[in-house]
A and B are shown apart, each in its own frame.
Chain A
Amino acid sequence: MELRKINLQNFRQFKNTTVEFSTDVNKNVTVILGDNTFGKTTFVKAFIWCLYRQNTFKDNKILLNHDVQVQMRPGESKETKVVLTLMHNGFDYLITTREEYTKSQNGNITTSKRAQSSMLKGCTGNPENMKPIPPDAVSNEINNILREELKDYFFFDGEDNSIEKISMRGNLKDAVSNLLGLQRLEDFANYFSPNIDSVRTRIADGLEKKDDGVTTLLNDDLLRNKGECQKAKDQVKKAEEEIDKLSKELQDKNDIISANKGVMNQQEEKKEKLDDNIKLKEAIENDFSNTVLSVNTTDVLLRSLYAASFNKYDLLNKLSSSSYKSETSLTHISTSAVDDIIKRGYCICGAKIESGNEAYKHLIESKEHMEPNDYGKYASDFSDSEHYNFRNSKVDLYTLSNNLTGILEKIGNVDQNNKRIKDITNLIVGCPEIGEIQQRANDISAEIAKQENYRDFYLYTNIPELEKKIQKNNADISAASVNNEKNNQIKNSLKYCDYIYLAASSQLQVSKNKVRNNLQDEVTKAFNKMYSGKRIIRIDEDFRVSTKLQGFENENIDDSGGLSAVTNFAFVAGLISLAKSKMTLSIDFSDNTPIDENYPLIMDAPFSKTDEKHIKNVCSILPIYCNQLIIAIMNKDYQEAEPALNVRVGKIYRFIKKSETESDIEAI
């Protein structure tokens, strides 16, 4: 298939836009430059809609240009149309797909005629001799050009089908089988399969069976085993569909995660701050309660105030300057004892005591130094006690201040966290909750693994066991059947069927291995040309593609989609290369012409997740692998791609955004 020209009329934002593609084999690249919202995705989707009438727009299913819709009068009808001109297999084709819309009296736009395709076909070089293909044959004719199930390998719209997602597809095995010609071989083998309803079953039904209980039991057993085998196969299909669905969802989630790495970091930081605040607040509540409790239970303030008074009024010096001394204290003598001595007239020491003599005066004076007038001791005790308290209070007060400062620091940390949380919240407002998406991605991965185990159990354990039983049932029934000429012929036919089935199955396995090995070789070649690193690329039995560092079997990598983009470019290039080389077509029973000539690759923003170095590599290699490369690309990405792509660019255009509802494409 070689694309020549596309014309879009009233198709979304394109009112009447025509683009001719480069068909020069040496300059087989057509570039259309445009930034986001300029119409790149719409442009690529126009091919898919024109060929397969598949409307994959998510936002608005009405394809008719908005300005046209507004200008329509109630009751008026207008159509949207895409005309694609291409060459295939020596024929020129003009495919026109149109859909009609009508404006109702209340102004609503509805589809009045669903999308329909028409086709003109003629030998290449004779446009005047192109003839219309009957309407009911158009779809078949388009499928002969490129089967619908293979379109995803050639048209990358960047949304539902981006280059990064190709190897994630659960139905990759079927698709590759289709593309590389294995499907017909598989269909052929199944035609003779003893395990399902097949031509063999119908032949076996012709056996004249003995009308006895044993044969009835064998037949019942066969039917039951076939039923279970079919159920198991349905389960496999169901599991694969589920894996496919989950894989797509996983890829979407991973895309969101990759695209929001910064947001995820910020959300994690926000969560950390929130968690930190919970702990801080708990600590503040505890510390605050304990500190306030210490204030009102330990008398720290009162004792500090005693000390403050003691210091401020210099009581230590003042008290020591008093005439009351502790040395003169007579604490253990009472004033009444002194009075008794005076009354007795002589002292304990024998000195005479008379009113007014020295001994008398001394005794009277000594009464000032005993209870309740022991002021020297009172003052001394007070001074000692307050001095001691003074020293301790400084420490107590420091501890209190320190505790309070600690609480304030924590409060400050909470405030800082709150400020940061507020800033982050403002920064990520409207962003998806990446933590939840990551959790969902993990759940999906686990569910995929579960479904794979489920599928593998049926595929590799349950179904083979049932097939053995069915084979035995068939053999037993055959042995138990009536021995006559007709049955002998049927049995011979059955043997023939079984032989063909075994041969075809065996050939299918050989072919699959061959295809896988060939694909591995082709993809490796492409990958090695595109990728500069130490990774190797692998294709497993289900044609899934992955990369590994040599020597690291179980490796988790995080490349934000860049490596997977290169990997998938290599996969697509290898796939196209293999199909082109027809290496798979030499196998027996294969599809004669699944792909019988070169195919174009049409891509929207293919390099958005590829780094500069690999963009250059991919751009150098891709035009060699595919016959025709049409890329709608952002200006900034093209700056990276241009040095490598320039020599291959045959035509270059740019999108022009005239308004929110109108874009056009013009040649540069």
Chain B
Amino acid sequence: MTYSLDLRITGKHAAIIKKYSGDKTKAPSDEFKFVVKDTQGKDKIITIFSTYFQCFEVSAMLGIVMGEKIEVADNSTDETGKIITATILSSMLNQKSSRQNLERIYAHLILDRNEGTIDSRIRNAFSFDSVDEKTQLNEITSYSRAGLEFIDSLFKDCQSYEDVCNSLIALADKINDLLTSKSD
């Protein structure tokens, strides 16, 4: 699939992506910095995800494995009254690795559902060219929103390295639980 549209995450979910992701093109604004105290007690900006896209795909998979999604986009605004937006350009989506990851995520999304026969799910999961771009990204984004809220719930109160480590351990434990337990 070739993506023709940029992917736009809005509102509080965009704010979460901005907060925990690095954006090499510009310095993070004060509003969306993830800042904790380092060992000397000085402010340190932490980047959990290197790009918006990485944050998006991890949060999407989190939503999928948690079986949670948020279909309605949030439209919270920033200090200037504009809707907060995190944009992942189509050029990024069309990179080979990004595309493969999106196909893989979508395959999980379809296969994990308890809808239809396994054959029909396989057909849906792997009929890449027959799937509408917008539909695919909307589906993935709805799971991503749930995942983003979970990520934020883990990291939003972090004040120190210790808090960040504990939150990452909590995230790893959560994933580990899913690695060892089966869905009902």
A interface list, Cβ under 8 A from B: 281, 284-285, 288, 291-292, 295-297, 299, 301-302, 304-315, 318-319, 321-324, 372-373, 375, 378-379, 382, 390, 393-394, 397, 400-401, 404-405, 407-408, 411, 414
Contact = CB atoms under 8 A, between A and B. Distances in A.
Nearest to B62: A305
A323 B123 CA distance: 11
B56 to A, nearest CB: 10
A187 B103 CA distance: 111
Contact of B179 (A285, A308, A405): A308
Contact of B181 (A292, A312, A372, A378): A312
16 contacts: A284-B161, A285-B39, A291-B168, A304-B175, A305-B175, A306-B61, A312-B65, A312-B112, A314-B183, A318-B118, A321-B118, A322-B119, A324-B119, A379-B122, A394-B179, A401-B169
Given A292-B164, A312-B183, A305 B176 contact: no
Determine chain B's interface SS by DSSP, over half rule. Answer: helix
Interface string B113-137: 0000011001101111100000000
Nearest to A283: B39
B40 A281 contact: yes
B173 interface: yes
B70 interface: no
B46 A397 contact: no
Given A296-B54, A305-B64, A306-B61, 10 more contacts: A284-B39, A292-B168, A307-B179, A315-B108, A373-B127, A375-B122, A394-B179, A401-B172, A401-B176, A408-B166
Interface in B122-175: 122-123, 125-129, 161-162, 164-166, 168-169, 171-173, 175
Question: Which has the most chain B C-beta neighbours within 10 Å: A284, A397, A404, A411?
Answer: A404
A296 B50 contact: yes
Contacts of A295: 48-49, 168
Contacts of A405: 169
B111 A378 contact: no
A393 B61 CA distance: 14
Nearest to A307: B179
Contacts of B47: 292, 296
Contacts of B50: 296-297
Contacts of B162: 408, 411
Nearest to B114: A313
B126 A378 contact: yes
Contacts of A313: 108, 111-112, 183
* Residue of B54, B122, B181 contacting most chain A CB atoms (<10 Å): B122
A373 B111 CA distance: 17
Interface string B33-56: 000001110000011111000100
Contacts of A311: 178-182
B58 interface: yes
Given A297-B50, A322-B119, A400-B172, A309 B112 contact: yes
Nearest to B129: A372
Contacts of A306: 61, 104, 108
Given A284-B39, A296-B48, A309-B64, A401 B181 contact: no
B38 to A, nearest CB: 7
Contacts of A285: 38-39
A379 B111 CA distance: 10
A309 B183 CA distance: 9
Nearest to A282: B39
Nearest to B54: A296
A305 B60 CA distance: 10
Contacts of B49: 295-296
B73 interface: no
Nearest to A278: B39
Contacts of B125: 378, 382
A407 B38 CA distance: 13
Most chain B beta-carbon contacts within 10 A, residue among A284, A309, A313 = A309
A411 B165 contact: yes
Contact of A414 (B39, B54, B168): B39
A313 to B, nearest CB: 4
Contacts of A281: 39-40
Contact of B126 (A312, A379, A401): A379
Nearest to A288: B161
Nearest to A393: B179
Nearest to B36: A288
Given A382-B107, A397-B172, A302 B165 contact: no
A301 B162 CA distance: 19
Contacts of A319: 111, 118, 122
B164 A309 contact: no
B101 interface: yes
A319 B49 CA distance: 32
A302 B119 contact: no
Contacts of A307: 179
A323 B168 contact: no
Contact of A375 (B61, B62, B126, B175): B126
Interface string B65-96: 10000000000000000000000000000000
Contact of A302 (B57, B107, B166): B57
B122 A324 contact: yes
Contacts of B64: 305, 309
Contacts of A292: 46-48, 164, 168
Contact of A323 (B38, B119, B164, B179): B119
Counting chain A CB atoms within 10 Å of each CB, which of B129, B164, B171 scores highest?
Answer: B171
Given A390-B179, A400-B172, A309 B61 contact: yes
Given A309-B108, A321-B118, A411-B161, A302 B168 contact: no
Given A318-B111, A323-B119, A397 B58 contact: no
Nearest to A378: B126
A314 to B, nearest CB: 6
A380 B166 CA distance: 38
A397 B122 contact: no
Contact of A304 (B46, B123, B179): B179
Contacts of B112: 309, 312-313, 315
Contacts of B38: 285
B99 to A, nearest CB: 15
B122 A378 contact: yes
Contacts of B123: 373, 375
Contacts of A297: 50
Q: Which of A281, A304, A312, A318 has the most CB of B within 10 A?
A: A312
Nearest to B55: A296
Contacts of B22: 296
A286 to B, nearest CB: 10
Given A295-B48, A311-B179, A372-B129, A305 B122 contact: no
